[in-house]
Each structure stands twice: as C-alpha cells, then as structure tokens.
Amino acid sequence: MGCCTGRCTLIFLCSLQLLAALERQIFDFLGFQWAPILGNFLQIIVVILGLFGTIQFRPRYIVVYTVWTALWVTWNVFIICFYLEVGGLSKETDLMTFNISMHRSWWREHGPGCIRRVVRPSAPGILEDYSYVSVTGCIIDFQYLEVIHSAIQILLSLIGFVYACYVISIFMEEEDSFDFIGGLDTYSYRQPPQEHVELKPVKPVGRSK
C-alpha cells in the first residue's frame, strides 16, 4: 500500500514538473533565453525518465532523476539570485542568452498589465529603423515573475526528491525480498526432482538362457 501511494504521488509530481517545464520552455523560447532553454530541455528529458522509471519499477532511472533534481534546484536558486541581483549579478547582462544577443525575459514587455509602446527617436543622425520600447503599467515586474517560476520549480523538485528517495527505498526492499523468496522457491522446486531421479528404480535386466 505504501509503495502504491508513493508511486502514485511521485507520478503526479513528475507530471506537474513536466507541465511546469513545458510552460516555462515556451516563454523562454519567446524571449530567446538560451541558457534556460537548455536547462528546461534537460529537465523535460530527466522528468520523463523518472516518470518512466516510476511506472516501470526501474529504480536506476529514479536515481538519475534524484541526482538531476539536486542540480535543478541549484540552477533555479542561481536564476533567483540573478534576477534579484544577489552577489554582484545583474539582470541587465546577457548571461541568459550566452552573450550572443541582447534579448531579455519575455515577461519584461508582456507581463500582466504591461503596456508596450514603440517610440521612434526624433533626434537627427539616428537611423529611421531604430526605435525604443517603452513598457508601463506592469502589475508585477518581470524579475519577480521569473523568481516565482523558479520558486515553483524548486518547491516541486524538493517534494519530488523526497518521494523519489522513498520510492527507491521501497523498490529496493521489495527487490531484496523477492530475490530471497525466489531463491527458496527455486531450491525447493529443483531439489525434489533431483532426489526422484537418484531414487528412481532401475529396470532389471532379463536373464540370459
């Protein structure tokens, strides 16, 4: 009963993690955030692996999921520090795009309540196709939205880590007990035929005339 409950809970948590990672991947693609895109891709693969291992009783796959979950929590803590500018980090840098573009978070211009306006400069000497983007009226600043996304990922990952360790221990106990009982059954099954063969009477040979 405990194994079934733990498995069902872990399957539910993996499903939530998968949906959350897919949702985050979409918005990171829209914002051309290449570093989070790579992280989300690995997260999706490992969560699917953990989900498969939980359903198919494969503890090794769940171990991989557990190890990656610890790394995933660390990555999301770094993202929180990045957007809150902790430890000398700055959200205005191109770190999330691997310094290959100047794109920022998609939520910066499309957050709840944000009004995006394109302002073209009127000063002479500036190219006509050059423009500024003005964003006003945002209910929540984009950095806090990114922090909320990372906090949700951390919460799901920590709960998933605990249940993954629990399910692994249950699987290992069941595997050990199965091997022990199976060994006794194999011995008791094979031993009687061997004794029967040894004690089988030999057909007497007919007398010669």
* DSSP state at residue 97: G
Query: CA–CA separation, 79 vs 100, rounded Å?
Result: 19
Give pLDDT, residue 145: 95
Residue 34's H or E segment, with its range, is: helix 34-55
CA atoms within 13 A on the CB side of 11: 12
pLDDT at 203 over 90: no
pLDDT at 15 over 90: yes
Dihedral angle of Cα 170, 171, 174, 180, to the nearest 10 degrees: -130
CA–CA distance from 189 to each of 40, 126, 175, 185, 186 (Å)?
A: 52, 90, 20, 6, 5
Give me the phi and psi of 135, to 5 degrees please. Answer: -120, 125
Give pLDDT, residue 168: 94
| Percent of the chain residues topping a pLDDT of 90 | 56
Give me the phi and psi of 115, to 5 degrees please. Answer: -110, 115
pLDDT digits (tens, 9 = 90+) for 125-171: 555 555 567 788 899 999 999 999 999 999 999 999 999 999 999 98
CA–CA distance from 186 to each of 68, 150, 172, 200 (Å)?
A: 39, 52, 21, 22
**Taking residues 81-90, what's their average pLDDT?**
93
Give pLDDT, residue 186: 42
In this predicted structure, which of 9-13, 101-105, 198-202 has the lowest mean pLDDT?
Answer: 198-202
- Asked if residues 52 and 11 have their Cβ atoms less than 8 Å apart, the reply is no
Mean pLDDT, rounded, of the chain: 83
Residue 133's H or E segment, with its range, is: strand 132-136
Give pLDDT, residue 185: 46
3-class DSSP state of 152:
helix
- Asked if residues 157 and 76 have their Cβ atoms less than 8 Å apart, the reply is yes
**Taking residues 118-124, what's their average pLDDT?**
66
**Taking residues 190-196, what's their average pLDDT?**
47
- The pTM of this model reads 0.77
Each domain of the chain, given as residue ranges in start order, spans 1-86+106-120+132-187
SS3 content of the chain, % helix, strand, coil (to 5): 65, 5, 30
Query: CA–CA separation, 200 vs 189, rounded Å?
Result: 18
